[in-house]
Chain A
Amino acid sequence: MPPAAPNSAVSGTTTPDSAIRGSGSGAPTPGSFDAVVVGAGPAGTSAALALARGGARVILLERGEYPGAKNMFGGMTAYCPAPEQLVPGFWERAPWERAVTKRILSVVGAASSTSLVFQAESGSDRPSVGVGSTSDRSLTGFTLFRPQFDRWYAEQAVAQGVTLLSGCRVEGLVVRGGAVRGVRVAGVDDIVEAPLVIVCDGALSLLAQDAGLHKGFKPEQMALGVRALYALTEEEVNDRFGLSGREGATHEFLGCTEGVRGGGFIYTQTDTLSVGVVVHLDSLKARELPAYELLERFVASSPVAHVLRGARLIEYSAHLLPEAGIKMVPRLSTAGVLVAGDAAGFCYTNGLTQEGMNLAMTSGMIAGRVGAEALAVGDVSAPRLSRYAKELKESFVLRDLATWSRAIGFMHHDRLFTAYPQVVSALMEDIYRSEGHPKEKILKLGRRAAKNGLPVRQLIADMFEAGRAFLW
């Protein structure tokens, strides 16, 4: 079939249809690209940059009007050194919102909540806040808006020679002789051919399925996040969270999802708050509760309503997250194709930390490097590209997923989201209560608090499992 490549070099301003239907307007000849990267998110742009820096001619395809247009993420990314190897001074220049110095985890019961607060030594005069220095242990990460972040990151890739085509939906892969040889884009017979394809098409991972790398993620492996964005002033955000300068806070909640497995969150941006809930899809289905209703009740709950007083609701969004850890990671490559980021299941929460963007950028970068080396020697066979999985196993990406595999599994117990928050609340209420009766020690109080919801045997079994998940 006659290959028809899209228009020549374009930037993020390309309009959807015109970009694809490029016949007669100087389209490059077939074979003008060594590699196609699908999806201009953190994984895809990192892959494109690593390929370009390795000498490959790269086209980066994005289905949104511009990179980031399809992304609702308003959360925190853990500090990640990978993009600094691709864009010098990355974290000094990238458009992030706040450098997170405060992390709060709250367990919500019926009549009270109990919180753990991590607060790095404060002070807007501390020079390293916001610079992204790895030596600053207080800097746990950054909050950011992906429509801005992804767009900026893709511009850096364009500046390094990557061809970006926005408004371009990839329909499937071109497979010939058992190897992926390009992608099919919108329209009936538009094809972009290249010896190497890196698929970073996000959580639904449709193209990796197309390549036969997996048979589709399962509902119990996915979580649905819904988010409301609220506007305040920068001063109000600082006052309400005890922050100064560009310091940021994250606040996560357990027990606020009415028995659906999941949690709530508040993230601080410069002058906005991202407020939402993330719930496991299978649990949502079983409980028959719409996520936006959980969100509405969460927003109205006392700890949240307090920080939202007077705030103006400005946007709503929803997205899926892969959340099953190492168990859902597919085969990572085959002849002519590699998969990175959410599409590879590289995203997790163990209850204490939530990581995804750092795994995406690192896996994308490694995929791009392995791909560039393979192209340089003219060997994009399955055995050659399996070096990608090998390198990932040595990196924190697959090692962290392995380290936390029990913890990720532990997060799938219903009672963690129902019985335990109530027990914690009842226990703390007893500890703080003083009404003229003799006090009891904590174990006795705990047993009473757990009496109705949790048999002792279950409690001990869970303690042991939690220990194996988090402690040793």
Chain B
Amino acid sequence: MVTDDLFDLVSYRIHPEAHIRLNVDVCQGCTHRACTFSCPARCYTWSEERSRVEFAYEACLECGTCLFICDREAVDWHYPPGGYGVRFRLT
């Protein structure tokens, strides 16, 4: 198994609007950037180029880890609108 394979296997119904918003201004100054390695869906990445944490909601698994990991309250967390987001299959 290669980690990258994992992420290709998840099924979503993506809503055009993000259900989680990251306040990048609050983010600046965070020293641990724990969201970048704690998020199990790799939604948070460190951009060397822009020197900030970047967030993309599309691959979110709605687990809530970022809500607990962030100690600066930079994460405005909601579930996606009803029927949207990740959907686990009937196997």
Contact = CB atoms under 8 A, between A and B. Distances in A.
Given A69-B87, A147-B90, A315 B10 contact: yes
B64 A203 contact: yes
A219 B9 CA distance: 28
A237 interface: no
B46 interface: no
B64 A316 contact: no
Interface string A434-470: 0000000000000000000000000000000000000
B78 to A, nearest CB: 8
A166 B7 CA distance: 26
Interface in A50-94: 63-65, 68-72
Contact of A224 (B9, B65, B90): B65
Contacts of A317: 10, 61, 86, 88
B79 A318 contact: no
Interface string B47-76: 000000000000001111101110000000
B87 A70 contact: yes
Contacts of A136: none
B88 A71 contact: yes
A288 B34 contact: yes
Nearest to A224: B65
* Chain B residues touching A, range: 35 or more
A63 B7 CA distance: 23
A111 interface: no
Contact of B1 (A19, A168, A228, A291): A228
Contacts of A299: 1
B79 A169 contact: yes
Contacts of B87: 64-65, 69-70
Contacts of B68: 217-219, 222, 281, 320
A63 B65 contact: no
Contacts of A71: 88
B16 interface: no
Interface string A160-190: 0000001111010000000000000110000
Contacts of A295: 3, 6
Nearest to A316: B6
A292 interface: yes
Interface in B1-24: 1-3, 5-7, 9-10, 13
A272 B91 contact: yes
A17 B83 contact: yes
A306 to B, nearest CB: 14
Which of A185, A293, A313 neighbours the largest number of chain B CB atoms within 10 Å of its CB? Answer: A313
A64 B85 CA distance: 8
Interface in A257-296: 269, 272, 281, 284-285, 288-293, 295-296
A288 B34 CA distance: 7
A302 to B, nearest CB: 15
Contacts of A19: 82
A8 interface: no
A16 B84 CA distance: 8
A269 B40 CA distance: 23
B6 to A, nearest CB: 4
Interface in A16-33: 16-17, 19-20
A320 B79 CA distance: 14
A64 B83 contact: yes
A316 B10 contact: yes
Nearest to A318: B40
Contacts of A168: 82
Given A16-B83, A64-B87, A167-B83, A291 B40 contact: yes
A319 interface: yes
Which of B7, B63, B84, B89 neighbours the largest number of chain A CB atoms within 10 Å of its CB? Answer: B63
A300 B1 CA distance: 8
A231 B9 CA distance: 13
Nearest to A20: B82
A316 B83 contact: no
B41 interface: yes
A209 to B, nearest CB: 11
Given A64-B87, A313-B9, A70 B34 contact: no
Nearest to B84: A16
Which of A70, A148, A167 neighbours the largest number of chain B CB atoms within 10 Å of its CB? Answer: A70
19 contacts: A63-B79, A65-B87, A71-B88, A147-B90, A166-B82, A166-B83, A167-B83, A169-B82, A185-B82, A204-B64, A224-B40, A224-B63, A285-B38, A296-B1, A314-B91, A317-B10, A317-B88, A318-B65, A319-B63
10 A-B pairs with least C-beta separation: A16-B83, A167-B83, A318-B40, A316-B6, A167-B82, A169-B82, A219-B68, A204-B64, A168-B82, A318-B61
Given A146-B88, A217-B68, 5 more contacts: A15-B83, A70-B62, A169-B82, A185-B82, A292-B6
Interface of A: 15-17, 19-20, 63-65, 68-72, 145-148, 151, 166-169, 171, 185-186, 203-204, 217-219, 222, 224, 226, 228-229, 231, 269, 272, 281, 284-285, 288-293, 295-296, 299-300, 313-320
